[in-house]
Structure 1
Amino acid sequence: MGDDLGLGGVTVTEIIAGYGVSGVRTVRTTASEADRTCLVEATEGHFVLKISPWPGGGATMQAALLAHVAGHDPELPVPRLLTDTDGRAVTRHGDSAVFVMTKCPGSSLETAVLTGPLVDRIAQVQAGLIAALADLAPAAARVPTEQEWCLDSMLGYAPLAEQHLDTGLGAFVADVVADFRTRVVPVRDGLPHQVLHADFNLSNLLVTGDRVTGVIDFGDAVHAPRVYDVAVTTCYLALALGSLTHPLVDRYVATVTSLVGLDPVEVSLVPALALTRLAMVLVWGREVAARHPERAGYALRYDGLAVALATTVQHESVPVLEYGGTPS
């Protein structure tokens, strides 16, 4: 496709040249939830150009997070931020904010076969990222304490269930929200909080074999209880494997718990929080698709898996588990 994307009369080729990248061969857009994302192939390699509405709070946040992670743990497989000739990471073009980063190699986790070693590596990379972000003040990177996909938001989405779900799934979501109110809300403020990536889903992890080669899309970062990060990953692994009680899900939780140092209260909340994310995939995913039909395919990419997993949970009457194997 062409690279004129309505950026104040400036082409992608011209913008990325300002970041020191020349010899552009191809430019193509790819699906994303909010920002526009362009994949650029050039003689120097492959790059990603992110475009968001000016004043670009989301772009500024993502750029700040990438810079912070690179400075704290250069070995983590996250994109590397580029700066222009004036040393700026985020630049304005028309009514858009733009930043450029390297493209991580690998294929999305949703195309991979999950194995024990790969699950271990996911836990290791996630623990490393949690550690790298632990000392970052949210205001320094403009990280919010609330956002659409933060687990706390499900409390506000509960009324949408009757609009989007049948009676059975609606009852499932109601039970999940009630459990969140009962188990999570009373202890939430006392949990360890920090800045989180908050969206270790199957699309945002890139893998090659049993290696994690990329953690992408920091656009849903939030300052929240750190166990939320673990619960989100637990949910998506369960979606891929078809069960919250799959041995590889249990292996992931045990490994990341040890590496991060989650306390017993945090660990006890993982199942309820993972189910909360599952409820969000069902309810908020469908709401986003209804509000933005042009993004429906992306918003609903996990809907079928979520329906199947929720149905399994209902039919099995899965109890709340203390990870490690003993029902509570």
Structure 2
Amino acid sequence: MSDTAKSASLCAQLMTTEVPRVSLHEAERVALDQYGLRGPIEQLDGERDLNFLIRDSRGAFVMKFVNPAEAREVTRFQTDALVYIERQGKHLPVPRVLAARTGDFEARVLIAQQALTVRAVSYLDGIPQNLGTPSVALMHELGATLAQVNLALKGFAPPAAHRYLLWDVGHAERVRPHLIFLDQAQRPLVTTLLDHYERQVKPRLSALRAQVIHNDLNPHNVILDRETGTRVAAIIDFGDALYAPLVNELGTALSYQFDADATDPLWRIKAFTAAYNAHIPLLPDELNILGDLIATRMAMAITIAQWRASLYPQNRAYILRNLSVTWRNLQGLMALPSGALTQSLIDACTPEAL
């Protein structure tokens, strides 16, 4: 089996392997034995991994039991990315990794005859972005924060960062086998977008600058301060991080910022892009492809969600929680005049945009 085929197989296993089965009692034991944490504990929602929140006298921490299908080197890459960011930018609002009693940033435990990797990180309190109050100021702060995270990650490129991931917009064609799970009304548009992506977008990506990126800045991974819901408190979940074209970071993040209900549905996208560009100036070739990446990522989200919902009907509501909004936003995006999105992105990056 080729390395590519092997990576694809591992990726499929990761997306189809159920989360680890760990009881609250077992989680409490691991928290105490591995990290010296003791206190109230509760299970959190998660798509691939099993997470617990534990409140100790030292603070609150999230303990993650990693999906057993995840390659050890990839898990280590995700942990090391958080440690690297902390060392490069201590001011950045990302989780801090808690070392185990052994001094390592990961622990290995045996539960029900299954060896599992565990990571504990600081819990950053707040509410997800979708429950906060949208504003231009918030978009400016979020765009600036993501740019600073990217700047902190620059120069960090371990071999495991070059990973096969279904959620990689740089390889959107990988979702084609799952188009059969789309609603009949959705399939023509998604197919057209993937066709355009393969002909006009993908061939241009290899010439663009690349580095390790977060790769999943959706509203559930953006935490706002609980009191006002107007400021960025944290960027969490580096589980989809990988080495990719830098512009893919924005394509992914901005796919969640279209506002179909607004008079100007691009207002969030423009404010976010302007702030990001102020820290990391976007190049013409990146701006000319960014709009296509936004639409492609939306199409991927619609496809992957419905495929996974078919695999886990008992978790269908959680998996499809964003589907109707994403489909409506994609339809609204595609209804814009040709070239409007790209021109708006270019205009947002002019000096007076902020």
Normalised by the length of structure 2, the TM-score is: 0.82
Asked whether 1:157 is paired with 2:178, we answer: no
Q: Could you tell me how far apart the structure 1 residues matched to 2:126 and 2:49 are?
A: 22
Q: Could you tell me how far apart the structure 2 residues matched to 1:240 and 1:87 are?
A: 49
CA contact (8 A) 2:48 2:67 kept: no
CA drift at 1:174: 1.8
Matched AA of 1:204: N
CA drift at 1:267: 1.1
Asked whether 1:96 is paired with 2:111, we answer: no
CA drift at 1:58: 4.4
| 1:39-188 equivalence runs, <5 A | 39-54=53-68, 56-94=72-110, 95-139=115-159, 142-167=160-185, 169-188=186-205
Q: Could you tell me how far apart the structure 2 residues matched to 1:28 and 1:165 are?
A: 36
Asked whether 1:36 is paired with 2:55, we answer: no
Matched AA of 1:75: H
Q: Could you tell me how far apart the structure 2 residues matched to 1:58 and 1:35 are?
A: 14
| 2:48 counterpart SS class | coil
**Aligned-pair identity (%):** 20
CA drift at 1:250: 1.2
Q: Could you tell me how far apart the structure 2 residues matched to 1:22 and 1:153 are?
A: 41
Q: Could you tell me how far apart the structure 1 residues matched to 2:254 and 2:120 are?
A: 30
Q: Which position in structure 2 is the counterpart of 1:275?
A: 295
| 1:205-284 equivalence runs, <5 A | 205-208=222-225, 209-238=229-258, 245-284=265-304
Q: Could you tell me how far apart the structure 2 residues matched to 1:77 and 1:11 are?
A: 30
Matched AA of 2:218: N
Q: Could you tell me how far apart the structure 2 residues matched to 1:108 and 1:200 are?
A: 11
Q: Could you tell me how far apart the structure 2 residues matched to 1:96 and 1:188 are?
A: 36
Normalised by the length of structure 1, the TM-score is: 0.89
Structure 1 pair 295/138, CA: closer, same or farther in 2 (3 Å)? farther
| 1:60 counterpart SS class | helix
| 1:157 counterpart SS class | helix
| 2:97 counterpart SS class | coil
Q: Could you tell me how far apart the structure 2 residues matched to 1:312 and 1:190 are?
A: 30
Q: Could you tell me how far apart the structure 2 residues matched to 1:318 and 1:259 are?
A: 28
Q: Could you tell me how far apart the structure 2 residues matched to 1:215 and 1:49 are?
A: 17
1:33-70 Cα shifts (integer Å, max 9, x gaps): 21111111223221100001456444322211111111
Structure 1 pair 130/13, CA: closer, same or farther in 2 (3 Å)? same
Structure 1 pair 242/65, CA: closer, same or farther in 2 (3 Å)? farther
Matched AA of 1:288: R
Matched AA of 1:302: N
| 1:201 counterpart SS class | coil
In structure 1, list runs of 5 or more residues that go unmatched. none
In structure 2, list runs of 5 or more residues that go unmatched. 1-19, 349-354
Q: Could you tell me how far apart the structure 2 residues matched to 1:240 and 1:19 are?
A: 47
1:214-256 Cα shifts (integer Å, max 9, x gaps): 1111000111001000111111111686799422211211221
Structure 1 pair 244/218, CA: closer, same or farther in 2 (3 Å)? farther
CA drift at 1:161: 2.3
Matched AA of 2:216: D
CA contact (8 A) 1:32 1:298 kept: no
